[in-house]
Amino acid sequence: MHKITISDAEFIRFQSFLKSSSDISLAENKKYLIINRLKPVLHTTGLDSLCDIISLVEATPTGDLASKVIDAMTTNCNPPIPNRC
């Protein structure tokens, strides 16, 4: 898998989505958090980039992918091994 990155513009778009969908505000130094929390979502959906995720959740903010993204961002445990929390 290629290195996952998020541009400043993508971060702002994601910040806006997350705030409007879950009332969570992310500080500008939290790019790493988005990348780490959404890696499994990228893997399971087969999408190529965070930009793809952002575009899809903006288009369908109440869809299944948006729910997965919000779940990934709001969990305190994102274990690599199932049932480890």
Nearest to 41 by CA among 64, 15, 17, 9: 64
Q: Is residue 2 in some structural domain? A: no
Angstrom CA distances, 84 to 11, 35, 68, 77, stand at 30, 21, 19, 9
Q: Is residue 24 in some structural domain? A: yes
Contact 53, 42 (CB under 8 A): yes
Q: How far apart are CA 50 and CA 4, in angstroms?
A: 7
Q: Is residue 82 in some structural domain? A: no
pLDDT in tens, 4-56: 999 999 999 999 999 999 999 999 899 999 999 999 999 999 999 999 999 99
Structural domains counted in the chain: 1
Please report, for the domain that includes residue 28, its CATH number: 1.10.155.10
Q: Is residue 17 in some structural domain? A: yes
Q: Is residue 27 in some structural domain? A: yes
Full domain range(s) for residue 22: 8-74
pTM, 2 dp: 0.82
Q: Is residue 61 in some structural domain? A: yes
List the structure tokens of 63: 């869809």
Q: Is residue 50 in some structural domain? A: yes
